[in-house]
Amino acid sequence: MAKIIQDINIAVKEILNGNIIALPTETVYGLAADALNRDAVMKIFKAKKRPSFNPLIVHLYEIGEMKKYVSEIPPAFIKLYKAFSPGPITFIMKKRNNIPDIVTAGLDTVAVRFPSHPIFREILRLSKRPLAAPSANMFGRISPTTADEVKKELNDKVKFILDGGKCSVGIESTVVDLTKNTPKVLRHGFITVEQIEKILKRKIESVGIKTSDKNKIISPGMLASHYSPVKPLLILRSKLPVNINNNDIFLSFKFHDTGFTFINLKLFAGFKEMAFNMFSLLRKADEMRSDFIIIQKAFNRGLGCAVNERLLKASYGEIYFGENNYKIIKKNI
Ligand code: TXA
Ligand code: MG
């Protein structure tokens, strides 16, 4: 049974003893271990049932440490680091050999992030270790944004969950590949393509939101099915067959003997609020009594891209309601 704790020193001790620990970051909760300790990192993959081809992000306290692990530092990194770190952005760069292959899934690159959450930073500072940490969920499931959500996910898989309240961002970091001439966003996140372009004063590349072609997968985390609730999530492509009360986040209704729970994301004033609430709402909807969860996409710009990328990955397909029927179209993976 996982114990929710407040004591940072216990977390540091666990890390130094080669154990895994769930901890808060500003994006989502992570499951951390000493990145230089193969056996410790192995425990992360085991606990999450994560396939070994999916590399982990290495979290660092400050830029000075990075030179130990990264062999080439591109000029774009310095600009982006100054603008957005510590914070929700992850940089892919060429790695040095002291990062174990298990962390990077045998790639010659490493993902590096400088988290801003004060508790995580304190653990990095005290342990003096680079920490490998994926999101603290079972592989393919929604990332947790509270300690309680981690407990539901990993109760029998982890000894301690360090409580740092609800994550202020709510979705994972932006992953940007800096190993090519043109930087490329591999995973949309809180820091938007537009923000990165503004800092670099140039156009960059980014993955399309519909990454359903398996042949085109560059980053293993770009698998089209990810973040899934247990209940099928459907993207709404028509009007609902019932009226929405605009003050309610959830609308549960029956239509032709099928139960639906609609999540009214549009209720949130902006993308930041949507991102902050989205994963928790998907979890809550998953626990409600219905057959399907329905949601509408956000506008595909700015942070809306990150919201949509996650909704599409979590979804089973699309739904169209007619006067007397409905049609579900399975996502093309
Ligand atoms: O906000 C976050 O990034 C959270 C918190 C805990 O830091 N972490 C997180 O980790 O989302 P994870 O493991 O769930 O996602 C890491 C993503 C995956 O899509 C992985 O494939 C990609 O980063 N990645 C890691 N190393 C890579 C590399 N060398 N090249 C390309 N993609 C990489
Ligand atoms: Mg994850």
Identify the residue whose tokens are 């029927």: 325
C-alpha pair distances (Å), 66 with each of 84, 220, 228, 281: 16, 23, 33, 36
Pocket test for ligand 1, best of 20, 44, 57 (most atoms within 8 A of CB): 57
pLDDT-derived band at 220 (thresholds 50, 70, 90) equals very low
Our CA angle for 242, 246, 251, nearest 5°, is 50
Residue 230: how many other CB atoms lie within 10 Å:
11
Pocket test for ligand 1, best of 172, 184, 207, 225 (most atoms within 8 A of CB): 172
Tokens coding 118:
């004060």
pLDDT at residue 228 in the model:
67
Identify the residue whose tokens are 């001439």: 181
CA–CA distance, 207 with 211 (Å, rounded to integer): 7
Which tens digits make up the pLDDT trace of 227-255?
667 789 999 999 999 988 778 899 999 99
Which tens digits make up the pLDDT trace of 61-108?
999 999 999 999 999 999 999 999 999 999 999 999 999 999 999 999
CA–CA distance, 143 with 251 (Å, rounded to integer): 23
Ligand 1 centroid – CA 200 distance (Å): 22
pLDDT exceeds 90 at position 331: no
Tokens coding 145:
């944004």
Q: Is the CB of 315 under 6 A from ligand 1?
A: no
pLDDT at residue 227 in the model:
61
pLDDT-derived band at 217 (thresholds 50, 70, 90) equals very low
Ligand nearest to the CA of 187: 1
Which tens digits make up the pLDDT trace of 157-205?
999 999 999 999 999 999 999 999 999 999 999 999 999 999 999 999 9
pLDDT exceeds 60 at position 9: yes
| 280-303 average pLDDT score | 94
Quote the mean pLDDT of the chain: 93
Residue nearest to atom 18 of ligand 1 (CA): 221
Q: Is the CB of 175 under 6 A from ligand 1?
A: yes
Ligand 2 centroid – CA 116 distance (Å): 18
pLDDT at residue 247 in the model:
84
